[in-house]
Amino acid sequence: MRTVNEEAHLKPAIQFDNSYARLPGAFYALQKPTPVAKPELIRINEGLAELLGIDAQWLASEQGVQMVAGNSIPEGAEPLSAAYAGHQFGGWNPQLGDGRAVLLGEVIGRDSLRYDIQLKGAGRTPWSRGGDGRSPLGPVLREYVVSEAMHSLRIPTSRSLAAVSSGEQVYREEVLPGAVLCRVARSHIRIGTFQYFAARKDTDSLERLTQHVINRHYPELAGSDSPALALLQAAIDRQVSLVTKWQMVGFIHGVMNTDNMLLSGETIDYGPCAFLDDYQADKVFSSIDSGGRYAYQNQPGIAHWNLMQLAQCLLSLIRQHFDSDDAAVEATQSVLDAFPALYSNEYQRLANLKFGFAESLAGDDELVKDWFELLAAHSLDFTLSFRRLYELAEPTLAADHSIVHLFEFPETMTPWLQRWRKRFDADSDPSARAATMRTNNPALIARNHLVEQAINEATETQNYGLFNQLVDALQTPFDYQRNSLPDRLLRPPLAEEVVRRTFCGT
Ligand code: AMP
Ligand code: MG
C-alpha cells in the first residue's frame, strides 16, 4: 500500500472543475484564504469526503488540515469570493458578498453532482466591510452539528466536510478561539446573487447567471420557452419542498434573508437557527429578530416574499420571451401566486406521512389544527409528541425501542388520540403507514441546549466530547434504541437548560 504522501504525488488530492471561476470577473473577486497561526483538526466528515472523491485519510493528514485552514491551496483550486447583495430583515443591501468565505473550487461527486468546496472563516475579502473575515469556534461547531443533522433528516442542506481550530483569537463581545469550517454545497448561488446584478441593471450578467443556474441545478429546463420563467417556477418548487420540510421537524432558520436562500434549494446559514422544543407557532430564538419576522410560522410567507424578489430580478429576462410587458408581468405574477397552494399541498402531503394517513380526507385539517393547539396549550415537546404518536401506531414496538419512559401524552390528550386512532384505522395497510411514520418522526434532533453545551465545553475547555457525540448520534435520527443512546440526548431541556436566545455569532 502506498503512503498518503506518495499518493499525493501521483494525482491531486482533489479533482477540481471550477465552473464559477469560468464566469466573468464581475461575479467574484479572486481571493486566497489568509493562513491561520496554528491549525488543528477538530473533525472530518469521512462519508462526505468519500462522496466527493477525497481520501479521508489525506483530509485528516497534515496536508488536509493545512488546506482546510486556508494555509495551503490545493492544486487545481481557483480561490474566489463571490459577489452578492440581499434583503436583510427586509432592508435592502446592494453589496454583501462573501466577507469571510472563500470558494476553493468545485468537484464532481461520485453521485455525478457538482459540489462547491468553500472555506468559511478564511480571512478578509473585498466584501468584508468592517469585519475580520474570521469565525469564532462556536458558530463553526453549530454549523457542523446542525447541517449534518439536517442532512440525516433528509433535508437539503449545505454540508460540513471538516472543521479546524485556527490557534488564533477572534474579538467579538468577548475574546474567543477561532476556527474554519470547510463547507460543501451544490452551489452557493443565492437570490442575493441575482439581486446584485439586477440592482446594477447588468442584464448580460443576469443572463449568464440564469444559464449557469439552469445548467447546474435545473438542466431539464434548458429548452424552455422562457428559461427565466421556468427557473422561477423551479426555484419556487424547491423552496416549497425545503420550507415544508423545515416545518415538519420544527426547524427555525432564524435569518431568512435573500442572501441566505440558495437557488439549489438547500438550507444555508446556520447562524441563529434553532429547533422547537415545546411547540409554539410564533416562536423566535434569534437575538436580532426583535420583530419576529422569521418566527416559525412566518417561514413560508418569508420564502414567498424572497421568491418575489427573485421574480423581480428575472423580469427583464422573462420580458424577452413575451409580446408585451403586461403579458410578461401577468405570467410571472401567476407563477408567484401559485406559491400558497403549492405550499399547502406539500404541507398536507408531508403531514400525512407524520400522522400516518394514506391520503387526505375531509376533517383532517381540523384534526391537525387541534393537535397543534393541544401541543401549544400543554407546552408539549414537538419532536417527542410526534415520535410518541408514531409509537402508538406500532403496538408491537419493543420496550427498548420506545421513548415512553421519557415522554407520554397527558390525560387531556386522550380524546384527541381517540379521534386520531379512528382516523388512522380508516386507511388500509397500517403497518406500512407505521413504518412511514417512523422515518418521518425523528426521535432525535439537534437540541438547542445540547448544541450550546457542546459549544461551551469546546470553547472553554477544548473538550469536544459532546460535540462528537452529538454529530455521531444525529446521523441516525429515526432509529432509537434505549441502550445505545443516553436519555440526555433525547429528552427536552430541563427548565434551567432551556435556550431562549440564539446569536448570529458572526
Ligand atoms: P451572514 O449573517 O452570515 O449571512 O452574513 C451577512 C454578511 O456579513 C455576508 O456578506 C458575510 O460575508 C458578512 N460577514 C459576516 N461575518 C463576517 C466577518 N466576521 N467578517 C467579514 N464579513 C462578515
Ligand atoms: Mg449568510
Provide the 3-class DSSP secondary structure of residue 498.
coil
Write down how long the chain is.
506
CA 419 to chain centre: 35
Cell of 168: 488564533
Dist. CA 19–CA 208, nearest whole Å: 12
Residue type, 142: R
Compute, in angstroms, the gap from residue 259 CA to the centroid of ligand 2.
6
Ligand 1 contacts CB of residue 260 (under 6 A): yes
Ligand 1 contacts CB of residue 128 (under 6 A): yes
What is the pLDDT, as a whole number, of residue 11? Answer: 74
Which ranges constitute the DSSP H helices of 356-491?
Answer: 364-377, 382-392, 414-426, 430-438, 448-461, 465-473, 487-490
Dist. CA 435–CA 271, nearest whole Å: 34
What is the pLDDT, as a whole number, of residue 504? Answer: 78
User: Which residue owns the Cα nearest ligand 1 atom 23?
Assistant: 99
* Identified catalytic residue from 98, 132, 259, 269: 259
| Residue for grid cell 469560468 | 22
Full pLDDT tens readout for the chain, 506 residues: 455 555 555 678 999 999 999 999 999 999 999 999 999 999 999 999 999 999 999 999 999 999 999 999 999 999 999 999 999 999 999 999 999 999 999 999 999 999 999 999 999 999 999 999 999 999 999 999 999 999 999 999 999 999 999 999 999 999 999 999 999 999 999 999 999 999 999 999 999 999 999 999 999 999 999 999 999 999 999 999 999 999 999 999 999 999 999 999 999 999 999 999 999 999 999 999 999 999 999 999 999 999 999 999 999 999 999 999 999 999 999 999 999 999 999 999 999 999 999 999 999 999 999 999 999 999 999 999 999 999 999 989 999 999 999 999 999 999 999 999 999 999 999 999 999 999 999 999 999 999 999 999 999 999 999 999 999 999 999 999 999 999 999 999 999 999 998 887 66
What is the pLDDT, as a whole number, of residue 490? Answer: 97
Compute, in angstroms, the gap from residue 173 CA to the centroid of ligand 1.
16
Phi, psi of 229 (to 5 degrees): -70, -40
Dist. CA 270–CA 190, nearest whole Å: 15
Provide the 3-class DSSP secondary structure of residue 39.
coil
Dist. CA 74–CA 64, nearest whole Å: 9
Compute, in angstroms, the gap from residue 277 CA to the centroid of ligand 2.
25
Dist. CA 504–CA 69, nearest whole Å: 22
Which residues are CB-neighbours of 116 under 8 A, at least 6 positions away? 20, 103, 105, 106, 183, 184, 185, 186, 187, 188
Report whether 189 contacts 290 (CB < 8 A). Answer: no
Cell of 408: 407520554
Whole-model pTM above 0.85? yes
Compute, in angstroms, the gap from residue 385 CA to the centroid of ligand 1.
37
Compute, in angstroms, the gap from residue 263 CA to the centroid of ligand 2.
14
Cα dihedral across residues 38, 43, 49, 51: positive or negative:
negative
Which residues are CB-neighbours of 166 under 8 A, at least 6 positions away? 36, 37, 38, 39, 69, 121, 134, 177, 178, 179, 180
Report whether 252 contacts 285 (CB < 8 A). Answer: yes
CA 290 to chain centre: 22
Ligand 1 contacts CB of residue 100 (under 6 A): yes
Taking alpha carbons only, the member of 155, 188, 161 closest to residue 81 is: 188
Residue type, 406: L
Dist. CA 468–CA 41, nearest whole Å: 13
Ligand 1 contacts CB of residue 271 (under 6 A): yes
Dist. CA 125–CA 374, nearest whole Å: 50
Report whether 506 contacts 139 (CB < 8 A). Answer: yes
Burial class from Cβ neighbours inside 10 Å (0-12, 13-18, 19+) for residue 437 reads: buried
Ligand 1 contacts CB of residue 116 (under 6 A): no
Q: What is the dihedral of CA 418, 423, 425, 431, to 10 degrees?
A: -100
Dist. CA 125–CA 95, nearest whole Å: 13
Beta-bridge mates of residue 86: 93
Instruction: List the Cα angle 7/12/16 in 5-degree steps.
Output: 150
Which uninterrupted H or E stretch holds 147?
helix 137-152
Dist. CA 42–CA 139, nearest whole Å: 13
Ligand 1 contacts CB of residue 486 (under 6 A): no
| Residue for grid cell 420540510 | 245
Whether 259 is catalytic: yes
Ligand 1 atom having least distance to the Cα of 125 = 21
Beta strands in 172-235 (DSSP E): 175-185
User: Which residue owns the Cα nearest ligand 1 atom 7?
Assistant: 96
